[in-house]
Amino acid sequence: RLREGATVEFEIGDGRRGVEARNVRLVTGHWSTLGLVDRADLLALDTGCVWGGALSAASLDGAERWSQPCATKGKMPISSKE
């Protein structure tokens, strides 16, 4: 989680919440400390697979969400060669 008092960049705006104030929805990953955030203005999907969490996915056309537990905490390959 974010440290107390910290603000994420998509929350900074003109006194209103950032992306919500612009009537858009931000879809992002690569920020596992946020965890799964699913709200009108933000869909954050990084649920920390590389840290032993889960791999998450979402349907952008609907409300379906999927999550698969990861079995390899800290052992994700950077690249694979077959």
Q: pLDDT tens digits for 35-67? A: 898 988 889 999 998 888 999 999 988 889 999
In the chain, which residue ranges form alpha helices assigned H by DSSP? 18-21
Scored b (16 or more CB within 10 A) or e, 56-69 reads bebeeeeeeeeeee
- Which range has highest mean pLDDT (7-11, 19-23, 37-41)? 37-41
Distances, alpha carbon 18 to alpha carbons 8, 26, 28, 38, 76, in Å: 10, 10, 15, 15, 33
pLDDT value of position 52: 87
For residue 40, what are its two tokens?
């009108």
pLDDT value of position 47: 92
